[in-house]
Amino acid sequence: MNAPANQRAVRRHNVGVVLRHVAGRGPRSRATIAHETGLNKSTVSSLVTELIDLGLLVERGTERTGTVGRPGLVVDVAGAGAAGIGLEVNAGSLAACATDLAGTVLHRGYEAADGRAGPDAVLDRLAVLARAALEDLKAQGVPPVGIAVAVPGLVDTEAGLLLLAPGLGWERVPVARELAERVGVPGLPVTIDNEANLAALAELTEGAGRGLAHFVHVSGEVGIGAGVVLGGQLFRGAHGFGGQFGHMTVDPDGLACVCGARGCLETRAGLEALLAAAGEDTGEGGALAGDRLARLRARADDGDGVAVAALREGGHWLGVGLAIAASLLDPEAFVLGGFLAELAPHLTPAADEELRARLLATQRERPGILASALGPEAAARGGAVLALRRVLDDPGLAGEVTVAREVPV
Amino acid sequence: MNAPANQRAVRRHNVGVVLRHVAGRGPRSRATIAHETGLNKSTVSSLVTELIDLGLLVERGTERTGTVGRPGLVVDVAGAGAAGIGLEVNAGSLAACATDLAGTVLHRGYEAADGRAGPDAVLDRLAVLARAALEDLKAQGVPPVGIAVAVPGLVDTEAGLLLLAPGLGWERVPVARELAERVGVPGLPVTIDNEANLAALAELTEGAGRGLAHFVHVSGEVGIGAGVVLGGQLFRGAHGFGGQFGHMTVDPDGLACVCGARGCLETRAGLEALLAAAGEDTGEGGALAGDRLARLRARADDGDGVAVAALREGGHWLGVGLAIAASLLDPEAFVLGGFLAELAPHLTPAADEELRARLLATQRERPGILASALGPEAAARGGAVLALRRVLDDPGLAGEVTVAREVPV
């Protein structure tokens, strides 16, 4: 906020302004960019030239406008300019996704795997997925600029450290360093983040949250987490622990939760709670959770009374949680992801009713409940978006990451 | 975030950087400002000259440093440069406070009044308080730059409209326009904001929140509201309705709340709830609430068992609310204001215990519970801070508001 501006910083800032403008608004002429950003035309021309040299923008036909005069050449983000790689570790699966600056998915990878097999075994498999993505990008001629790993737990993003993932049974695992060593591409940065945060980032950039400044992405994976987007930015809290949606108290004297407290939302609307209420096997979850989830959804779709009632009750508690978050944060919308999206048709009516009943009259019409537009790959896709952020934030970096183009994979 | 920078905007930005730097860090030399902000020395000299011309900075002696060479003249914010006026409407009282850029309180006003007497009568009295503040500032030779009114309710800050204040029984009152007309000083802007937001702003700038980037100021006035500070900025939510702390559900099937829902925090830890639990008169509150609060505090201080137990139970529920907010927002601290600060010694132990018990292990040590450093005048003082913000954000405005210096009051 209080950072001073100087000439070089101004140019570095403005080159990012232009790239983000085109990435966010789509192909347009230099004149249109100048008009919309308030930068003058000669500055925009010079910045666009720099971005074309960096391989991040390309010229593409002319702009059709109603104005007289010479039609301007349109510039667009260069699909081949840079790719980000997102990976996801979950209790039952590993996933990979690579996208370019235009949001096009260039690669997808998936493997059913038990995340609870321990960090060594899981990170070995994750590195195989990462290297497959790198090979695919190499074949497509798109240079990777980074890898970001989505994990279901608390993270120290600065240190690349997974602090605690109860659903995996992992504690203090230096995921970023361990994966970077296994992938073995010097100069290619590896970062980690919470899966709900990355899913929210994907929804913000390419999914149901596009165009929203304030929303809460409530993500049902091993537990229930939330990615909180405020002012168009991911909000992580003072220590990176924000968005513990599943561990908000909704029933103070209620059931004991795995976290040690009582009456957390997860004890009422977590996947295991819903499965148990519907009379499905509880057991170990993990790789089997997907099958049991599909079975629950099918039973509810078929009108099975026990399944429908269980989801209605779960939706009621979810609505209490949404109302609490709405009272504090006043978002434009909630986006449900993971198993919550899968079960949304059966959860949302009761959740919505409870949400409206608990809001002040003036607020009641406001936050909608949307389902994820990106489905189960949201978190990995958010990882790709995060990896690409480096270049959008500071396009000059694209010139420095070409080391990754040359490394054999 | 994505705003482009140009030359004139850069200078306008940097003049604010220098003023905010001196206002925030205290008196220092041009050379120190240059060193600390990264701006070059000649730029800083030129900006300081502009700020001295605007009457916002003054030269004040020399800087004592360990370095050799000529000691630099120190510049400081000019106490006489500009003043903001904050007003507060509450159920039992009206208050005024004027401060300068250095945070010095230049004027205080107070009047016991029933806020529920209706907007016309209350705004008449508020205008009297405002004019007394203007006269006092005139006598001190400090030009006022604006008035901001703290109200206990939902506001549309853009429109200067109080949407709903259940504790006052006000609905859709154009407070800013009505007050501006009554004060009758053309060119002096009048704005409004929620009292919890303004109290949080005061704590952030001059109180318990100084130096914190993320905190939640939980303010007990007519009800319980919160001012949420994220990244050093007041967060208002998508529609300005964030921080409805008192209407977070803590007990889903609990007591009916005035808002129409059940089990809101106010039904358990609101002032009327605490007074009722302690066996104090309930009745109409209003002007009498202060007396009953003082009596409750005195009884608890004297070890009255019923009062102590009532506050312990209230503290327990407050702790549930704090834990919920901590799970979502991961703040550095909570700051208690209003009656919550007054009763803090008796509420905090149980609240703290409940908060720790409900947080994840990794989070448990984090958010402290602090009491307001500013007491009951926090909201009015926050109004003064907000009114001054205009000049800190854009010091050039100080040249434009001198109209207010000339108007007879």
Q: For residue B223, what pLDDT band results from cuts at 50, 70 and 90?
A: confident
Asked if the Cβ–Cβ distance from B328 to A17 is below 8 Å, we say: no
Phi-psi domain of A126 (left: phi exceeds 0; alpha: psi -120 through 50; beta: other): alpha
Helix axes A41-53, A7-25, angle to 10 degrees: 80
Q: For residue B176, what pLDDT band results from cuts at 50, 70 and 90?
A: very high
Structure tokens at B339: 């009656």
Asked if the Cβ–Cβ distance from B328 to A228 is below 8 Å, we say: yes
H/E stretch holding A182 reads helix A175-183
Asked if the Cβ–Cβ distance from A249 to B358 is below 8 Å, we say: yes
Residue A363 C-beta-side C-alpha neighbours within 13 Å:
34
Cα dihedral sign for A278, A280, A284, A290? negative
Whether chain B has a CB inside 8 Å of the CB on A67: the answer is no
Asked if the Cβ–Cβ distance from A164 to B1 is below 8 Å, we say: no
H/E stretch holding A205 reads helix A195-206
Whether chain B has a CB inside 8 Å of the CB on A238: the answer is yes
Question: Distance (Å, rounded) from C-alpha B57 to C-alpha B60?
Answer: 9
A6 to chain B: which residues are within 8 Å by CB? Answer: 38-40
Residue B291 pLDDT:
83
Residue A6 pLDDT:
67
Structure tokens at A85: 């790689």
Distant-in-sequence, close-in-space partners of B255: CB < 8 Å, separation ≥ 6:
B262, B263, B267, B268
Q: For residue B402, what pLDDT band results from cuts at 50, 70 and 90?
A: very low
ipTM of the complex: 0.83
B329 to chain A: which residues are within 8 Å by CB? Answer: 228, 235, 237, 242, 328
Query: CA distances (Å), A81 to each of A136, A140, A398, B9, B367, in order?
Result: 15, 11, 8, 32, 44
- Looking at the partner chain, which of A20, A213, A230 has a beta carbon nearest the beta carbon of B2? A20
Name which of A248, A250, A225 is nearest A90 in CA terms.
A225
B214 to chain A: which residues are within 8 Å by CB? Answer: 237-238
Whether chain B has a CB inside 8 Å of the CB on A226: the answer is yes
Residue B200 pLDDT:
95
Name which of B158, B10, B88 is nearest B375 in CA terms.
B88
- Looking at the partner chain, which of A4, A20, A259 has a beta carbon nearest the beta carbon of B360? A259
pTM of the prediction? 0.84
Selected residues 130-159 of chain A with any CB under 8 Å from a CB in chain B? 154
Q: How many residue pairs bridge chain A and chain B with CB atoms within 8 Å of each other?
A: 186
pLDDT digit of tens for each residue in chain A (409 aa)?
455 666 677 788 888 899 989 988 888 999 999 988 888 889 999 999 999 988 889 988 776 655 555 667 899 988 778 999 999 998 888 999 999 988 899 999 999 888 888 999 999 999 999 999 999 999 999 999 999 999 988 899 999 999 988 778 899 999 999 999 999 998 899 999 999 999 999 999 888 888 898 999 999 887 899 999 998 888 988 888 889 999 999 999 999 998 889 999 999 999 999 999 999 876 554 446 778 899 999 999 999 999 999 999 999 999 999 999 999 999 999 999 999 999 999 999 999 999 999 987 666 677 899 999 888 889 999 999 999 988 888 887 776 554 344 433 3
Residue B5 pLDDT:
62
Residue B239 pLDDT:
84
Whether chain A has a CB inside 8 Å of the CB on B20: the answer is yes
Q: Are A79 and A133 in contact (CB under 8 A)?
A: no
Average pLDDT over residues B340-364: 89
Q: For residue B67, what pLDDT band results from cuts at 50, 70 and 90?
A: low
